[in-house]
Amino acid sequence: MRTSLYLLATTRETPADAVVVSHQLMLKAGLIRKLAAGMYTWLPMGLRVLHKVTNIVREEMNNAGALEVSMPVVQPAELWQESGRWDIMGDELQRFKDRHQRDFCLGPTHEEVITDLVLNEYNSYKQLPVNIYQIQTKFRDERRPRFGVMRAREFIMKDAYSFHIDKTSLQQTYDQMYATYQRIFTRLGFHFRAVLADSGNIGGSCSHEFHVLADSGEDLIVFSDNGDYAANMEMASALAPADLDVSAATRSMQKVATPDSKSIEDVAAFLQVQPSALIKTLIVLAETDTASVQPSLIALVLRGDHQLNEIKAGKLEGVRSPLTFATDTDIQATLGCLPGSIGPVHLNIPILVDRDAAVLSDFVCGANSDGFHLRGVNWKRDCNYLRVEDMRNVVEGDLSPDGKGVLSIKRGIEVGHIFQLGNKYSKAMNAKVLDENGRNTVMEMGCYGIGVSRIVAAAIEQCHDEKGIIWPDNIAPFHVAIIPLNAHKAPQVLEVCEQLYKELAAVGIEVLLDDRDRKTSPGVKFADMELIGIPHRLVVSDRGLESGAIEYKHRTKPDSEMIAQGEVVKYLRDLIKC
């Protein structure tokens, strides 16, 4: 391609509304333009990258035996009503009516459609397992789209769905997809981790997320420094504390006035103790089957310096899911005091205690009386609780639950997620096949997503410098940029460029020839090619040609080198691995 015939939409200024570096660079390099909040046009340069990513994903999925289809973006409400998600999903499901007043939605995902397809087309266990995928535009009306294509409302996703006669078969495909994802993200040149994940709304049991490690990532991922354990923050657990003698009370309980001290920090400072010597008591709604006037409450107790993990807490028996904090009014009505002074001593609601809070002795807690706390409190002697549970977020330095090493926490961008759905959708939608005994059997399902458009942003987050993007060869929009210098003085410069252009194209190397006229200064050409992130650069100049040489420079290397004109094609062909 020649720049004179291309849409080279680079800008000098950084658009004001871009916060993260990938968003800024995608706009500056002319890869995308915003149409509306969370909706982007892919310009020619960006689309080339997107297609490279898409092709890698497609190749690996095909190699794994998956079958590609394309399902509609618009889906009828009936399917979503069958699965029950029409009512469960919030406003991120974009609903609308057609001219006949029939309900439709924009597909945020395609479990319903694929299940409907498979239940019609597949009838026998002999046809299973099957893994069907598409690379398709999705729409989710995110409450807060941000970071460009990283969290867009309209985005491109590879979504695959597998169907099985039993759980063993599902596990096999799940393992195969796990390995396929490892290959895909390795080919994309990512520094990534697979972590145990919560399956959330989509349902199912076993689930892994694949994260690209990047400081701008929205998710926290946790992994052991000396073992295989890796999980996202929602799922991560630390090793349970060893059983300590919780009866080792050395102090008597004492009520102290703590005026105006409501937070853990305030109370710790006021009483001159560490936050870890305090406990905090959070009041949430209990699981109830009757809509009583006053909701029943449950207390969750944590060590003062620990944070509640709302996902883990929401899964605890007796706790309403999703986790819902009680209002101050409810707390006042039931407990007679406000948050800031609540504690487990003589508390008249069920109490669940985090494992690390349960091994404290002589601790400080609220006195259930506004403005007062208790010191020297001990579990066995002074309080009753229902159960000990794991309900806190892990922190850096916690022991790994597998007993190997310590936990570290890093930020990640979720680029892939695989789930074992089980029969959630197949059962709801009556997706059955005949088994070998001729009996109708509900199929087991797995689903496997990759955020294709997000991958482009993640790659930039992971590889850029102050000049711009640095693409790996695999997904670069062009492999090589050719920049002619002094072409107006020496006609042979352009001739050599044209010849190189043809020769490189002939061996499958993608070239962008910057043939903009002399009004575009060399500095502008260098800067543009660096901003766009083309990994290899050739400079053809009258000076170099005098000695029969062409200058080569890699985007990541500080210095260039001179290469004999006749060697250039071979040199690049050996260098570029695609």
Q: Name the residues that contact RNA, by CB under 7 A.
A: 10-17, 19, 34, 36-38, 90, 92, 108-109, 138, 140, 142-147, 157, 199-202, 218, 310, 322, 417, 449, 467, 485-486, 488, 518-519, 521-524, 526-528, 530-531, 539, 541, 543-544, 551, 553, 560
Nearer to RNA, 36 or 291 (CB): 36
Nearer to RNA, 232 or 368 (CB): 232
DSSP string, 168-221: HHHHHHHHHHHHHHHHHHHHTT--EEEEE---GGG--S-EEEEEEE-TT-SEEE
Supply the minimum distance, in Å, between the C-beta of residue 144 and RNA.
4
From the number of C-beta atoms within 10 Å of its C-beta (0-12, 13-18, 19+), residue 8 rates as: buried
Nearer to RNA, 40 or 163 (CB): 40
Nearer to RNA, 15 or 318 (CB): 15
Supply the minimum distance, in Å, between the C-beta of residue 211 and RNA.
13
Nearer to RNA, 64 or 89 (CB): 89
Query: Distance (Å, rounded) from C-alpha 125 to C-alpha 308?
Result: 45
Contacts of 52 (CB under 8 A, 6+ apart): 474, 475, 476, 477
Nearer to RNA, 31 or 367 (CB): 31
Supply the minimum distance, in Å, between the C-beta of residue 38 and RNA.
6
Nearer to RNA, 70 or 101 (CB): 70
Residues 507 and 443 sit within 8 Å (Cβ to Cβ): no
Burial 179-203 (b: 16+ CB within 10 A, else e): ebbeebbebbebebbbbbbbbeebb
Tell me whether strands 511-513 and 480-485 are parallel, antiparallel or unpaired.
parallel
Supply the minimum distance, in Å, between the C-beta of residue 323 and RNA.
7
Amino acid at 67: L
Supply the minimum distance, in Å, between the C-beta of residue 512 and RNA.
14
Supply the minimum distance, in Å, between the C-beta of residue 549 and RNA.
9
Nearer to RNA, 122 or 526 (CB): 526
How is residue 168 written in tokens?
Answer: 């063993």
Residues 331 and 367 sit within 8 Å (Cβ to Cβ): no
Supply the minimum distance, in Å, between the C-beta of residue 232 and RNA.
10
Residues 160 and 109 sit within 8 Å (Cβ to Cβ): no
Nearer to RNA, 382 or 530 (CB): 530
Supply the minimum distance, in Å, between the C-beta of residue 436 and RNA.
33
Query: Distance (Å, rounded) from C-alpha 231 to C-alpha 222?
Result: 5
Quick one: DSSP state of residue 406?
B
Supply the minimum distance, in Å, between the C-beta of residue 527 and RNA.
3
Contacts of 109 (CB under 8 A, 6+ apart): 138, 157, 159, 202, 449
Say how many residues make up the chain.
578
Residues 303 and 293 sit within 8 Å (Cβ to Cβ): no
Quick one: DSSP state of residue 147?
T
